Amino acid sequence: MKRKANKKYSKFNEYYDVIIIGAGLAGLSAGLQLGLSGKRCLILEQHNLPGGLATSFVRGPFEFEATLHELQSVGTAENPRKIRRFLDEAGVDVEWIQVPEAYQLVLPNQNINVTLPYGIENMIEVVEKEVPGTRNKMTKLMKVCKEVMDSLNYFGEIGGADKPSKWEMLRNHSSFVKTAGYSAQEVIDTFELPQKAIDIISPYWIYVGVPLKRLSFTVWAYLMGDYFEGGAVVARYNSHAISVGMDKRVRELGGQIEYKTRVEKILAENGKVIGVETAAGDMIRANYVICGSYPNKVYTKMVYPKSEVPEIAYKLTNARNIGVTALCVYLALDAPPEELNIESYSYFVGDTMDTDLIWENYKTLDPPNYITTIVLNKAVEDCFPSGTTEMSITALPKPDGWLNVKEEDYYDIKRFMAKAMIEKMNDVLGVNLFAHIEEIEIATPATISRYTGSWNGSVYGYEHQVWDSLVGRMSTERQERYIKGLEFAGAHSSIGNGYAPAITSGRKAAAEVLKAMREGGNN
């Protein structure tokens, strides 16, 4: 099956080293890595903007941050961590602003209202103050978390070329080895912490969206170690600035990016990628494709012909569980934060900290019993016009409840949910936020699906359960390459969800392609 680029569209070459589907952070990161290696890549994006979920939007005089709450693995200029190091080395210009604190947790039913600072020792000190007698246990728990984080960072640095021996694993990565097969709850329980202390340190579970009893401890430990040791940042000019900066450098490095260009087919022949076909009918050749679309969509709708998809590919995607989606309420308020009793940048607010109960609630269309709220002004003072406040309130429901919403009920349901979420923040702040709203926007799972093409509106890829977490995925991912030359990058990849993992997954996919090229691959 020989195919050539459609000659009437001169903007495309007949052949590229790599075609990347999607200009989200993962796709842009892959483009950067390939460009730094001198490869000619083509990025095709169905939207008219880069970044996927890493973007912003404008309503009236206000530019809202769309999704970024806080970005891990960046560090400071003096102590840069892996994301800052990569973007700096790639020449991406982003101004970072440090987030002032980890979070303020408000659980009225449990009489908990506590603000946790960054810094592991600082955080432990606050937990000790709230729950006396926990210092030693918390110190031991956080030591394990940091060791797991360090091990994962080490594995990421060495890649798959020089896997450590079993002896080295036991000697240098014992915490990683001992905890890899357990849930977050199982490992936390071994430290015999009081429930109040566990509640206080549990909010970050929402950043991966799996209840603690099923969430891999490895993933939770990485979050705890990375956030509390390294802190977090936001971009001075919203996450859109990250995306635009990456776009600019990909082009400067020789890459080509085309927006408003949807890929309909990934063309394969004899088990190998040979190119793509766009919705406009352009057929473009490449022996390697890095795809930001979910495998569910790729294997069922995109790979052509269907006979090139092996049965095992369908079985794998059906076995994995789609993660949470998002429901966001964006508010422009007509008063500064201090006049609205706003103390913190990040709030976690709930009726409970029982992640199983929150999870069950998130499967329904009932008002969310747990929300997270960001007030960007508390980090970037001039993100909005003077005298106003930018607030976003977020819940992370499962797609389940939203899949059956009828078109005629959609607007009523999303306004009902938004009203309940605002009221929850009213109670926390002791302020009637409704009286201060100048602009409001509501994003639902349908919004995310529409603008990003994400499968069922998912923002977190596949659930990181114990049996299907990054440890297991990274150990089997090469056996799961069912079509030669096809790599995946994004929230659904082995590394998982979030801004930092997306950037890392793009780099990783590019590294795998470069390795295949060096070894002869399927050129």
- Whether residue 192 is contained in a domain is answered as yes
- 133 pLDDT above the threshold of 50: yes
Domain that holds residue 178: 133-227
> Tell me: the pLDDT tens digits for 336-353?
999 999 999 999 999 999
Residues 277 and 337 reside in one and the same domain: no
Residues 383 and 415 reside in one and the same domain: yes
Q: What's the DSSP call for residue 231?
A: -
Residues 410 and 362 reside in one and the same domain: yes
- Whether residue 7 is contained in a domain is answered as no
Of 105, 135, 110, nearest to 120 (Cα)? 135
> In this structure, what token pair is assigned to residue 27?
């796709």
> Tell me: the pLDDT tens digits for 277-293?
999 999 999 999 999 99
Instruction: Provide the mean pLDDT of the chain.
Output: 93
- CA distances (Å), 259 to each of 21, 61, 276, 488, in order? 11, 26, 15, 20
- Whether residue 126 is contained in a domain is answered as no
Q: What mean pLDDT comes out for the span 34-46?
A: 97
Among 405, 430, 452, residue at a domain's last position: 452
Among 176, 205, 227, residue at a domain's last position: 227
Residues 290 and 328 reside in one and the same domain: no
- 500 pLDDT above the threshold of 90: yes
Are 429 and 337 a contacting pair, CB within 8 Å? no
Residues 307 and 334 reside in one and the same domain: no
- State the pLDDT confidence band at 42, using cuts at 50, 70 and 90: very high
- State the pLDDT confidence band at 355, using cuts at 50, 70 and 90: very high
Q: What mean pLDDT comes out for the span 253-265?
A: 97
Helix (H, G, I), strand (E, B) or coil at 15: strand
Residues 222 and 257 reside in one and the same domain: no
pTM for this one?
Answer: 0.93
Query: Residue 9: its pLDDT value, please?
Result: 45
Query: Residue 35: its pLDDT value, please?
Result: 97
Q: From CA 187, how far away is CA 182, in angstroms rounded?
A: 7
Residues 347 and 447 reside in one and the same domain: yes
Helix (H, G, I), strand (E, B) or coil at 246: helix
Q: From CA 53, how far away is CA 56, in angstroms rounded?
A: 9
Query: Residue 162: its pLDDT value, please?
Result: 55
Residues 338 and 443 reside in one and the same domain: yes
Query: Residue 447: its pLDDT value, please?
Result: 94
- Whether residue 65 is contained in a domain is answered as no
> Tell me: the pLDDT tens digits for 228-246?
999 999 999 999 999 999 9
- State the pLDDT confidence band at 485, using cuts at 50, 70 and 90: very high
Taking every pair of Cα atoms in the chain, the longest distance, rounded to a whole number of angstroms, is 73
Residues 447 and 329 reside in one and the same domain: yes
Q: What mean pLDDT comes out for the span 21-40?
A: 97
- 50 pLDDT above the threshold of 60: yes
Degrees, nearest 5: CA angle 343-345-350: 85
- 4 pLDDT above the threshold of 60: no
Residues 422 and 378 reside in one and the same domain: yes
CATH of the domain at 496: 3.50.50.60
- 522 pLDDT above the threshold of 60: no
Degrees, nearest 5: CA angle 506-510-42: 90
Query: Residue 470: its pLDDT value, please?
Result: 76
Q: How many domains does the chain have?
A: 3
- Whether residue 346 is contained in a domain is answered as yes
Residues 42 and 160 reside in one and the same domain: no
Of 272, 165, 169, 145, nearest to 217 (Cα)? 145
- State the pLDDT confidence band at 157, using cuts at 50, 70 and 90: low
- Whether residue 61 is contained in a domain is answered as no
- Based on the number of CB atoms within 10 Å of its own CB, is 481 exposed (0-12), middle (13-18) or buried (19 or more)? middle
- Whether residue 69 is contained in a domain is answered as no
Peptide bond into 305 cis (omega under 30): yes
Look at strands 303-304 and 263-269 and give their pairing.
Answer: parallel
> Which segment of 1-15, 163-177, 302-316, 405-419 scores lowest on mean pLDDT?
1-15
Residue in the block written with tokens 């609205």: 340
Q: From CA 112, how far away is CA 199, in angstroms rounded?
A: 9
- 155 pLDDT above the threshold of 80: no
Among 452, 479, 500, residue at a domain's last position: 452
- 515 pLDDT above the threshold of 70: yes
> In this structure, what token pair is assigned to residue 432?
């009637």
- Whether residue 96 is contained in a domain is answered as no
- CA distances (Å), 424 to each of 183, 331, 385, 421, 427, in order? 30, 14, 25, 5, 5
Are 383 and 404 a contacting pair, CB within 8 Å? no
Q: Which amino acid is at 147?
A: E
Residue with the bigger pLDDT between 53 and 5: it is 53
Residues 176 and 159 reside in one and the same domain: yes
Cα 309 from chain centroid? 28
Q: For residue 180, which phi and psi values (nearest 5 degrees)? A: -60, -30
> Tell me: the pLDDT tens digits for 383-416?
999 999 999 999 999 998 898 899 999 999 999 9
